[in-house]
Amino acid sequence: MDRTGVSNYTVGHRIGWDAADSEAGAAAATSLEKAVELTLAGEFDGIV
């Protein structure tokens, strides 16, 4: 599934993805946020 990132998660809610896709989008957004936080802290190793 190629629905990753915060913006795509938001778009998913607007176009009415089913609950499973919304949860997958939330998980992807959480992983992206974690990667950004670690990158800003200088601790990102490429694995979230």
**pTM score, whole prediction:** 0.38
Q: What is the DSSP string of 1-48?
A: ----SHHHHHHHHHHT--HHHHHHHHHHHHHHHHHHHHHHTT---S--
Q: Consecutive sets of 10 residues in the chain, 48 residues long: mean pLDDT of each? A: 51 55 73 83 70
Per-residue pLDDT, 1: 44
Ordered by start, the domain boundaries in the chain are: 6-40
